[in-house]
Amino acid sequence: MFPFIKETIRMGGLELNFLLDGDDTDGTLVQFEMIVPPNVKVPAPHFHVEVDETLYILAGTITQTIGTNLVELKAGDHCFIKRGVVHGFNNLHNETARVLCTLSPASIGPPYFREIAGVINAGGPPDMQKVLAIMKTYGLEPVKPV
């Protein structure tokens, strides 16, 4: 959809199309389009230690958890997730969702997603200890679902 994609990273069934990274923004933000097919495996609930996240739904619907709230976000909806707030998402619908994601500052960017993709795409069940170690290195803290 975007003609100026810098890099595409696939993690399992998720596709991330990077539009801006920290090099483009003097480290202030990262922006990517996330393609979320129906019922695809998604990241575990987590929070960011030092990064705020903004989502804008371009197409489809995602079910977003923000703190203790569960919200259905449809095309045209947006949400802001402040650093330290537990969040996660799913696509529980029949249509592929497209989401514009902005992370600020740019400390969770393509290098993080490349490392995670390397573990997730290695074949067989992912080594969760490696995933957790990578997450912690980049300031993401996983949280067990309630």
* pTM of this prediction exceeds 0.85: yes
- pLDDT tens figures, 47-57: 999 999 999 99
What CA–CA distance (Å, rounded) separates 130 from 122? 12
Compute how many other C-beta atoms are within 10 angstroms of the C-beta atom of residue 133: 12
Question: Model confidence over 72-109: pLDDT tens digits?
Answer: 999 999 999 999 999 999 999 999 999 999 999 999 99
Strands annotated E in the chain: 7-11, 14-20, 30-36, 46-48, 52-59, 61-66, 69-74, 78-81, 87-90, 97-104, 140-142
| Burial zone of 35 (CB within 10 Å; 0-12 exposed, 13-18 middle, 19+ buried) | buried
pLDDT of residue 4: 87
